[in-house]
Every structure is written in structure tokens, then in C-alpha cells.
Amino acid sequence: MSEPYYITTAISYPNGRPHIGHAYEAIAADVIARFQRAQGRDVRFQTGTDEHGLKMARKAEEQGRTARELADEMSGYFTQMCDALNVSYDRFIRTVEADHHAASQAIWRAMEAKGDLYLDRYEGWYSVRDEAYYDEKELVEGEGEAKLSPQGTPVEWTVEESWFFRLSKYQDQLLALFEDNPEFLKPDSRRNEMIAFVSGGLKDLSVSRTSFDWGVPVPGSDGHVMYVWVDALTNYLTGLGYPDMSGDMAKYWPANLHLIGKDIVRFHTVYWPAFLMSADLPLPKHVFGHGFLLNRGQKESKSLGNVTDPINLAETYGVDTVRYFLMREVAFGQDGSYSPEAIVTRANAELANSFGNLAQRTLSMIFKNLDGVISDDFTPNEADLALENEVIAATETLQSKFEQLAFSDGLEAWMKGVFACNQYVDDQAPWGLKKTDPERMKAVLLNLFKQVRALAIAVRPVVPASADRLLDQLDVPMEERDYAALKDAEWFSRRVNSGIALDKPEGVFPRLDMPETSEPTGAA
């Protein structure tokens, strides 16, 4: 039985349509999920939408409809995005669902039973856009005398009766978590930020609201709904059946990885662990706060008119092209930038001209010169073995880097394997061997067949549909496309014995044209 692996994205706030940042996180999580499956792990992958809170209530009021109507429409756009980008989630959770309300009320009762909730009066600064409370000392100056949150969002003075969570009680335990378990929060820069935040002193946290009713009702406290982050974070438990501690909760919790944006690290590594400690639940093993994806170096915003619709982006350049570009271009954990020109340049250089051309040339020559027949009657020479070793090194480095979430480094290693194959083709010149040494030509082509298969399997988590189309043409069975297959010494004999000849190949990675305009992707 393979070891279970539970990965989650942050659930998206659907007060607007998805943008490229949502797509970036969903794709990265999907690559991790597919990578873990390729290693034989039993993976549970959850994403979804966070639909409660004042921001949603106000947006719906502005539009003259109910918050539920707004949530239903907007959440649908996020499922469409995930499906369009080939995101292989096991559950798309919505916080309006009945089982989520039950789970949120269950963790509330557990914290209450621990003596960690008390009723008092909240007076302080609140950012509706962030759905977050801020201390006076955290605020920054805006225009005139306006005060802004550390994120640059407007804040308003809020006064209301509220339930409070004894966050201050968990200050020492949280510091010990960061200091004793450095792997809990990555990258290290995020961990250092949270150590500084917690060391500065924690105040108890307001965890209910009475000024609106769009949220999970607080059990036994009429007129109160839970602070949106209490119920949003609980989604990670809801999807496993909490409060039922058997079944999926027993199998998959604690989560192996919460993948989130760097702007919500505090909620996931200070508030969330404290809630779990209070409820006597195990903490997630890892939280990773990735960077922002910038449009030509600028953060996307509707005021700048540079908001990219990720579905349009995928339709323009291809789903796997976008997936590959985002994982290859950006050092994961840091901010990165994209542009239509960068996508086309990277895709053409690496997918079309390098790997795609390698696969197409190899299969075309086998189809034309060997009648598509794969046989094993050749003895590899020194050059053949050298290439095989280079490809093995490339695929193994990709796996070790992906395990560290260093996707760009892993794909760079993979490209070294691709380049080695292309250099081998140029050096061996099988088109010339056809006349001078047909047996050597066959050996070269069969060796290339082997290496193209290995490279396709290795990169499959990133470009799953394209890799599968290529592996279909190689007649590699679906059950032989995981990483265990890369170490299977008998696969080639089985392939030979199948007796199936290759059909005329079709290109998998077409060349892209440079966009005629600078903004071909559409605005959300």
C-alpha cells in the first residue's frame, strides 16, 4: 500500500473571476500531486472556493443580488479554470456546503471546550479586502490621513460584540514550532517573517462578526457568524470528513502540504496551527508560501487593465505550454514575471524546437527507415551508453528537485537530457548511416526511442496531456508511465514482443507565433 499524500491549495476568494495567480497556484499544486502519484503515492488533492465574509456580502449588495447567488456564479468560474488547466483535484470544496458548516462548527466547539473562546467587544482596524484584522502599529500611511493595511488595502474602524480566540496563549508553542521544525514553513524567508511576527507578541483574535450574516453561524450564539478565516482554514479538514476521525481523516491527516500565496502565510502558520492545537488535532507537515506572478513585472490589477484570464491564456498558447512555462520560468517561492513574448520564446526553444523536434525526428525515422518496427537486436556502444547515463541523470535530478519543489531547477536538468539527445542525433547522423551502416542506424534510432520514452515519462506531471499523446505514439501502456517504469529493465523486451509497429507520428509541441499585440490573452 503506497503512503498517502494530502496536498491542498488555498481556497480562492471568488469575489471576482480567476486571474493568473489563481492558475499559477492550481497548476503548481497539480504538478506536485501528479509527481507524487508518479512515485506511487496515494494522493488526495483538494482545492476550492472561500465564499463567506464581509467582502462577498458587500459585493453582492452592490450588484443587487444575494451573496449565495454571487457565490454560485463566481465559484463556477474557478471550477471551469481548474478543469480547463487539467488540474486533477479529488475534491473542489465550497465553503457554502453543508458538510463544511458542520466541520467548522465542530472545530469551534472543540476550541470552546478547551476554554479558548470568550465573548467580548472588538474595537480595531479591519480590512474588508483582506478579511483581516490589523494592529495600529502595522498600518501604513495612505493619501491624506488615510490608513492602509501592510498590503496597501483600505482599513476601517470596527466596533462590535465578538467572540475572541485566545491566540496569545499559543505564542510560545508557535515559536517552538518554527524553531524546532524548520521544514514546517518554507521558504526560509517566510519562516523568518513569522518568527518576527510572533516574537512581537500575539493578541487574542476576534473570531466572530455580528454586523452581517453571510457566514457559518456560531453554535449557541445567535447573531454571530464565524470570522471568515476560521471557516476558510477548516476546509482542509472538511474535505476529509471531519469531525469523523476515521476514514479519510485517519488516512490523510495531517496534510503533507498546504500550498499558499505568500500574502496569507500568517493565517496558515500562526492562526491555523493555533486553532488545531486548541482542537487537539495534528498540525500539517509543511506549508509553502509561493511568490507572486507579475505581468511584465507589474502586479495585475483591474485599475491597470492588465488582468489576464488564464483560460484565454491557455486557449491562446495551449494548456501544457502554459503549465510548462510557469513551472520552468519562475524559481518557485520567489516572485516571477510573464509576458506573451516570454511564453512563446520559452515554448518554442524548449518544447517545440528541442524536445518536440527530437521526438518527431526519432519517430519519423523509425517509421520511415524501420517500418515502425521496434526490435532489441542491437548491442549499445560507448556513445549509446553515455547518452543513456545522461538521460538517467537528468530524470533522477528532475525527481529530486521536484521533491524539493524546485521545479525550475528540475526542468533545467531535464532539458540537459533533451540537449544530450539532440547532440547525439547530430553526432551519430542516422540519416547518413542508412547507406553506410544500416545496423548502426537501427541501434541509434532504438536508443533514441528509449530515451524519448524516459524523458516523456519524467516530464509528464508538468505536461500530462502532451506527454500522454507522445507516449501513446510510442505504444507505452498507461500503467507503465510512472517513475517506477523508469527503473523497469524489462519494459523494452515487452515492447518488442508486443509486435506493434509505430504509426506515422504526429507532432506534439507545435511552434507558436509571436503575438501580434501585447495583450492577446483577454481581461477578466
Using pLDDT thresholds of 50, 70 and 90, give the confidence band for residue 301.
low
Q: By the 8 A CB rule, do 189 and 331 touch?
A: no
Q: What local confidence, expressed as pLDDT, does residue 136 receive?
A: 87
Using pLDDT thresholds of 50, 70 and 90, give the confidence band for residue 521.
very low
Other Cβ atoms closer than 10 A to 98? 7
Helices (H), 404-437: 407-428, 430-436
Q: By the 8 A CB rule, do 152 and 140 touch?
A: yes
Q: What local confidence, expressed as pLDDT, does residue 303 receive?
A: 55
What mean pLDDT is predicted for residues 487-514?
92
130 or 468: which carries more pLDDT confidence? 468
Other Cβ atoms closer than 10 A to 393? 14
Q: Which of 434, 427, 485, 489 is nearest to 460 (CA)?
A: 485
Q: Which of 44, 36, 84, 4 is nearest to 323 (CA)?
A: 84
- What pLDDT digit, counting tens, does each position of 449-460 carry? 999 999 999 999
Q: By the 8 A CB rule, do 117 and 108 touch?
A: yes
- What pLDDT digit, counting tens, does each position of 366-406 carry? 999 999 999 877 889 999 999 999 999 999 999 999 999 99
Distances (CA, A) of 437 to 68, 378, 425, 431: 72, 13, 15, 10
What mean pLDDT is predicted for residues 124-132?
85
Q: What local confidence, expressed as pLDDT, does residue 192 receive?
A: 96
What mean pLDDT is predicted for residues 99-109?
98
Residue partners of 426: CB distance under 8 A and separation at least 6: none
- What pLDDT digit, counting tens, does each position of 411-462 carry? 999 999 999 999 999 999 999 999 999 999 999 999 999 999 999 999 999 9
Residue 2: phi, psi to the nearest 5? -70, 150
Statement: residue 272 has pLDDT above 70: yes
Q: What is the CA radius of gyration of the chain?
A: 26
Q: Rounded to whole angstroms, how far apart are CA atoms 476 and 496?
A: 11
Using pLDDT thresholds of 50, 70 and 90, give the confidence band for residue 522.
very low
Helices (H), 239-286: 247-252, 265-266, 272-278
Q: Rounded to whole angstroms, how far apart are CA atoms 461 and 328?
A: 13
Statement: residue 297 has pLDDT above 70: no
Q: What local confidence, expressed as pLDDT, does residue 517 receive?
A: 58
- What pLDDT digit, counting tens, does each position of 60-93 carry? 999 999 999 999 999 999 999 999 999 999 999 9
Amino acid at 300: E
Helices (H), 253-356: 265-266, 272-278, 310-317, 319-329, 340-346
Residue partners of 231: CB distance under 8 A and separation at least 6: 52, 95, 100, 101, 104, 215, 216
Structural domains in the chain, sorted by start: 340-498 (1.10.730.10)
Q: Rounded to whole angstroms, how far apart are CA atoms 376 and 308?
A: 50
Using pLDDT thresholds of 50, 70 and 90, give the confidence band for residue 519.
very low
Cell numbers of 68, please?
Answer: 449565495
Statement: residue 520 has pLDDT above 70: no
- Which pTM was predicted? 0.93
Q: Which of 51, 61, 47 is nearest to 15 (CA)?
A: 51
